[in-house]
A = this chain, B = another copy of it.
Amino acid sequence: MPRGLAAEATALDDGDVLRAVRKEFALDDGTVYLDGNSLGALPRTVAGRLAEVVGDEWGRLRIRSWTESGWWEAPERVGDRVGRLVGAAPGQIVVGDSTSVNVFKAVVAAVRLAGPGRDEVLVDAATFPTDGYVAASAARMTGCRIREADARDIPGEAGPRTAVALVNHVDYRSGRLHDLAGTTAAVHAAGARVVWDLCHSAGALPVALDAHGVDLAVGCTYKYLNGGPGAPAYLYVRRDLQPRFDSPLPGWNSHTDPFAMDSAYAPADGAARGRVGTPEILSLLALDAALDVWDDVALTAVRTKSLALTDFFLRCVEAYAPEGRVESITPAAHAERGSQVSLRCADGAAGVMAELIRRGVVGDFRRPDVLRFGFTPLYTGFAEALRAARVLGEVLAG
């Protein structure tokens, strides 16, 4: 059976329509990098572009670059590039701040959009912690209460008191993909708003924000979008909601005429209303360069390969891992799977991951017992999936 898997990996790699994209990343060290769901690999275009931004735009033009190098508009311009990857027409996404800060903006703004009597913020109970912490702060500061629910139950849990539901599109721990279309429709039917966290789906599978009428969304850009460590996050505000988007962080960058230096706040129209302070340009323009790798990539091809990779990896794990040592907590059904495989390893998971990394297979460990393997279709191949499972089997057997 292992020999059959090797031949299959070769055939799958040979038929991979995205295979050429890998060359655009700095990945020649023999490592099997399966942590792109935490920090995406380096696109080769970034170093040169960043050197130009530093040397020429900052170093030579200095302050003039705010206008002459397009720095001022970069948050909206790069936002539109992200928009293409998450199904958002131009003018609805702005890049800047961290995901946490954007969750705060989105949840507070959603509460302010809610009708009277709606004082409940419904939160995905298994959420990445920051969303829960920040939603609790948003609730505290707007007179709401928090109620937790399993993300799968949110369609039924949203009710007449619900102002907003905050849901992860893909669960960071299990890799479970939640139903964006159905949940959005159900929350809307209950008269509430929905904020989607796209951190673990954007760039890993097609997201259709506009098509499903999502109200607000946030996400980071350093995972499947490969924007670099701590690359700025983004905020989506559906176009028709923008005139009523009432930000709790009305910094001067969101003013309709920032350089009027007016003491009275008057919010900008459009996505810029979600801006706050001066954007961290070096990180933002590194992301901008990193997005170049997406220019000729179809998200449908990414999704097809992602599912093939995770299917194949799961079969390889079954073939190589000693019986009973690991168990997948990632759903088998394609409709419920993101682009990672999470294996529960009851016995010594932290040590197993450390040894995997030592042997050149980089995933990550989430307490208390989860081994996470992220599959980035732009640069991960099938032979790598096979090797990762084989090394995992050796480590577990060892």
Contact = CB atoms under 8 A, between A and B. Distances in A.
B251 A133 contact: yes
B252 A100 contact: yes
Interface residues of A, number: 82
A46 B55 CA distance: 9
Interface string A157-201: 000000000000000010000000000000000000000000000
Contacts of A39: 58, 62-63, 66
A26 B276 contact: no
A113 interface: no
B100 A249 contact: yes
Interface stretch (A237-245, A255-263, A323-331, A387-395): A255-263
Contacts of A133: 250-252, 255, 265
Contacts of A233: 277
Contacts of A229: 57-58, 65-66, 71, 278, 281-282
A286 B54 contact: yes
Contacts of A58: 39, 42, 228-229
Interface stretch (A10-18, A333-341, A359-367): A359-367
B281 A228 contact: yes
Interface in A114-147: 125, 127-130, 132-134, 136-137, 141-142
A130 B263 CA distance: 9
A213 interface: no
A41 interface: yes
A279 B39 CA distance: 13
Given A101-B97, A252-B133, A231 B280 contact: yes
Q: Pick the most buried of A46, A62, A260, A279: most chain B CB atoms within 10 A of its CB.
A: A62
Interface of A: 26, 29, 33, 35, 38-39, 41-42, 46-47, 50-51, 54-55, 57-60, 62-66, 71, 97-101, 104, 108, 125, 127-130, 132-134, 136-137, 141-142, 173, 220, 222, 228-233, 247-253, 255, 258-263, 265, 276-284, 286, 357, 362, 364, 366-367
